[in-house]
Structure 1
């Protein structure tokens, strides 16, 4: 059995189940009294017809009205308390699960390369919507249906028999409807999700679509796919509505059946006339949960699937981390026999890398495409778990390191710089409520303070889909300021000059020099040779192996023209 990935996964799951079960039991007890109180109206009608009308006693009528009003008042209170119970259950579950599930989803997304955060949020919303909705109460109502059945049998055994047969017919029709529509609805939903995915994926390349006139052809494809999905939905809807109409008609016929049974019994003087009306109301109430059983069961299945996804995410998919923060440290970076292979693959991307760096050293990593450079960067910052071996900063495993304290030690600039929704100040401060002086220090270190000052609102300029649009170079320079925020001890820069002009590259070099002077370990991964002039050491990575490693001048001198490294490396020889 796998050990829970989230440090408190077992406890969180146990507490979630306990809250749900205890709330469900409490709501079930309330449902028993609610169902009993729902007999108030039919029994009132029975007594009015059989006692008040026959005796013509207004005092009896007044007493019956008082009892009925009190009973309905209690019913109202208990029904409201049950609704609040479900609301509290949903709120407690989401509050308890929200943060650990999102943390696990983000970690799993990094590990698997697939975003799971949106799915995790949908699962949590589905769980809350189910708990606070009507479907959760359907089985509770069905459990106490024997109360109504018992009252019908008490009035006359034929009433009970008709109700029992009617419930069996309604339940059978609901199950039959589910059988006929489930697969068709599944196919329609899968087709709809595929269409949405195709359109969303294409629209990410809207500029190319518009520029090269691909829109008419794509629109034709989308239209054909949508028409196919619509045909599936129409067929499923027609089938479902036909069965729903037939089921509704059967319910009306059952009402007629019980009234007819009552009429015959009244004629034969076996029951009173009031029981005929009362039995019709009671049977209608008894059949209600059975009529909703299939739709309610679907909601239960969806909720159980969402809970299973959440449980799997907490238990198996997120990485195991230390929970206690590690104090700030400054020591050497050691990579020990590092091997990484994509899960399920037998061919490793990195094959036994070992090297070390001391504080204040700058390492340049070069090599051809697909050599494993970006994979190495992700391993160095601890977001990817090594297959074997490890990365250690002052003896601490970077993968197991508690994320909050690790973030204080590490700066990272990925190839594709993603700035989050928020202000420039928020992004540089890594979305923390930070001291503005630290933000200014990072901006000046990355030499972006003047550039930010020229933006509409300076550091308060909002970024994101509805915010200010930055150029590629501006994003990269603000990403650099975020990477150096707080003066981290380990800084990994993956293609940091890819979108920079000459001024931006000079600012980058100055920032690296300042980090080196401050005792930080800096690792540069780049194709453009000019940035490598600042490196103390060079490492050539090829086919997942280190082919050269040493002082920059020595490595450049050892590279032969025939080696399959990046073409610009040879330029370094002339500048070494």
Structure 2
């Protein structure tokens, strides 16, 4: 078992303990609540058998006082039980929220974005389940023997009828689960896949609209939606049908209890008060079984959600240091680095090693699919090496505590995106903005004046559905985000892909300024002008180092016949 799996299992066990401990406490409360639910039937029994026969107002007043006290206590315990479930849900979500978010982020980086999105939704659904009435039904059902004992005490026939009735409802609940479990699971999976597919395709709305693909996509979506709806309707139909049968039988059994009581009263074997009390107690006894049948699908859905959360944590829970590491000014060392992407057999990065000193610009070049972007992701700890490692001042960049590592690193990925917030917040990496540091980063990226011309300047909202920026504007703001706080290690993947001449000149000035400040700058680019800033060049071909050394010496050794064909489109690898 790996340390990552061990941490994930420890986390899962802690979550399970939270659930079990809360459930045990709520179960104990449910026992007292069940006893207090006898208040009304016992009150009615005593009124019929004592008060009416004795015509005593004092007895009635005393019974009413005791019943009122019991009902007040019942309400208080019900409220405490509800707060228990609320606290349990809050504790569970707080404990799993950050690890699940980290695991979801890792899953998204490794290509599991659909699963990650669903699991984040599952965590919210689990909280909703724990605060719903569905979770209380089994707890109330486990204390039903108290009602059963009272019914046997009133008359054995009441108890026997209750046992038979409860057995029938349990059998119906099992049948309902057997008829609906598989369909419910398939329907939920179909809905998840359909929503994920639609969300993924909507990201390319411009291409869909421009090339008239909407009718074709609509037909595909409709087919998958109809299939998912058919499965859901079939499962719901069976479940509702079984619940209707259960509800009818429960009411029939209550009538049977009342009829049995009337027969016993006629024969003189029971009092009229016991007949009324037994009917109410029978109703209380059967209610949890009825609720279980109705809410069984909620338990199945919650169980599936927990299973997905557990699988995500066990699969993607990253083992990171939790102790912050102070700022570093040491070299970058790549040691026997091998990386095999999940689901693939061939390595993308094949046993490479090199070293870069502070105050150096390293240019990484090579053909498309050579592994350049993968190397960039490994350098910033966004992916875990299969073997070997990358070290900054002797610290493993993957294991480095993320908060302190983020202060050390600036990263501009090949696919640029701005988060939902203002430009100021994006440059400040969604933290509390330091106005001077934000403006300094914007000036270094050559974007300060451009931001000043926007409708709200640095407070202009960007992200999905917000103010629309051009590709070049987004890239320059993302560059300012990478430069924020003057990081000691800067990784730029195709930083000039969308830049004009002015933006490219600002980029080169920023790179030189960071180098002169003692930072390590790694840049992946294809335009010769950018590579002229590099002090060293690393040539990657098929995941291996073809050449590495000073820029002039590497360029001199690359004769036209041996030069790698540098792609002009910035292909990711």
Query: What TM-score do you get using the length of structure 1 for normalisation?
Result: 0.93
Offset, 1:392: 1.6
Aligned 1:2-21 pairs, distance under 5 A: 2-4=2-4, 13=12, 15-21=14-20
The structure-2 alpha-carbon separation of the partners of 1:80 and 1:567, relative to structure 1 and needing over 3 Å to count, comes to closer
Separation of aligned partners in 2, 1:21 and 1:15: 10
1:34-68 CA-to-partner distances (Å, cap 9, x unmatched) read 11111111112212222222233333222222222
**Residues 366, 566 of structure 2: 8 Å contact kept:** no
Q: Distance in 1 between matches of 2:394 and 2:124?
A: 42
Give the count of matched residue pairs: 568
1:301/1:69 CA distance change after superposition, 3 Å:
same
2:352 partner SS: strand
Shift of 1:93: 2.4
Q: How does 1:476-555 map to 2 (within 5 A)?
A: 476-555=475-554
Change (3 A) 1:114 1:466: closer
2:189 alignment counterpart? 190
* Counterpart in the other structure of 2:164: 165
Query: Separation in 2 of the partners of 1:139 and 1:133?
Result: 13
Higher mean C-alpha deviation, range 220-229 or range 178-187: 220-229
Bigger mean CA offset, 383-392 vs 113-122: 113-122
Q: Per-residue deviation at 1:117?
A: 4.9
Distance 1:471 1:377, change over 3 A: same
> 1:358-437 counterparts in 2 under 5 A?
358-437=357-436
Give the direction of change, closer, same or farther, for the CA distance of 1:501–1:168 in structure 2 (3 Å limit). Answer: same
- Tell me whether 501-510 or 543-552 shows the greater mean CA deviation: 543-552
Distance 1:110 1:567, change over 3 A: closer
SS of residue paired to 1:339:
strand
Alpha-carbon deviation of 1:506? Answer: 0.9
**What is the alpha-carbon distance in structure 2 between the residues aligned to residue 228 and residue 318 of structure 1?**
34
Q: What is the CA–CA distance in structure 2 between the aligned matches of 1:437 and 1:167, rounded to whole Å?
A: 71
Give the secondary-structure state (helix, strand or coil) at the position aligned to 2:345. coil
- Using the alignment, how far apart are the partners of 2:199 and 2:103 within structure 1? 26
- Out of 296-305 and 131-140, give the one that drifted further: 296-305
CA 1:65–1:300: 2 relative to 1, 3 Å:
same
Counterpart of 1:75 in structure 2 is 74
Q: Is the 8 A contact 1:497 1:526 kept in 2?
A: yes
Q: Check 1:255–1:171 CA distance in 2 against 1; reply closer, same or farther (3 A cut).
A: same
SS at match of 1:292: helix
The worse-fitting range, judged by mean Cα deviation, of 369-378 and 357-366 is 357-366
Q: Deviations over 1:375-423 (max 9, x none)?
A: 1111111221212222122222212222111112111110011211111
Q: In 2, Cα distance between the equivalents of 1:486 and 1:186?
A: 49
Q: Deviations over 1:261-306 (max 9, x none)?
A: 1122112111112222211111111011111224445434444444
State the Cα distance separating 1:564 from its structure 2 match.
6.8
1:228 deviation in Å? 3.1
Q: Which residue of 2 aligns with 1:317?
A: 316
Alpha-carbon distance in structure 2 between the residues aligned to 1:568 and 1:261? 88
d(CA) in 1 for partners of 2:228, 2:102: 35
CA distance in 1, matches of 2:563, 2:260: 92
1:125, CA displacement in angstroms?
A: 1.7
Change (3 A) 1:439 1:316: same
> Could you tell me whether the CA contact under 8 Å between 2:123 and 2:305 is conserved in 1?
yes
- Report what 1:572 is aligned to: none
Name 1:52's counterpart in structure 2.
51
RMSD: 2.3
Instruction: Tell me by how many angstroms 1:360 deviates.
Output: 1.7
SS of 1:534 mapped into structure 2: coil
Equivalents in 2 of 1:113, 1:302: separation in Å?
A: 21
Q: Determine if contact 2:368/2:567 at 8 Å carries over to the other structure.
A: no
Check 1:132–1:237 CA distance in 2 against 1; reply closer, same or farther (3 A cut).
closer
The farther-off stretch of 141-150 and 188-197 is 188-197
Q: Distance in 1 between matches of 2:355 and 2:132?
A: 58
Distance 2:312 2:518 in 1: 39
Cα drift, residue 200 of structure 1: 2.3
Give 1:12 shift.
Answer: 5.1
**Secondary structure of 1:228's aligned partner:** helix
Does residue 1:263 correspond to 2:228, yes or no? no
CA contact (8 A) 2:360 2:535 kept: yes
- Could you say which residue in structure 2 is the equivalent of 1:574? none
Cα drift, residue 504 of structure 1: 0.7
* More deviation, 95-104/495-504: 95-104
Change in Cα spacing, 1:532 to 1:6, as seen in structure 2 (3 Å) is farther
Structure 2 distance, partners of 1:397, 1:370, is 25
Q: Does 1:23 align with 2:9?
A: no
- 1:515, distance to aligned residue in structure 2 (A): 1.2
Deviating more after overlay: 232-241 vs 541-550: 232-241
Q: TM-score normalised to the size of structure 2?
A: 0.93
Whole-angstrom CA distance in 1 between matches of 2:233 and 2:297: 20
Q: In the alignment, what sits opposite 2:134?
A: 135
Correspondence 1:199 to 2:198 = yes
- Separation in structure 1 between the aligned mates of residue 128 and residue 26 of structure 2, nearest angstrom: 17
Shift in Å, 1:314: 4.5
SS of alignment partner, residue 113 of structure 2: coil
* CA distance in 1: counterparts of 2:85 and 2:172, whole angstroms: 29
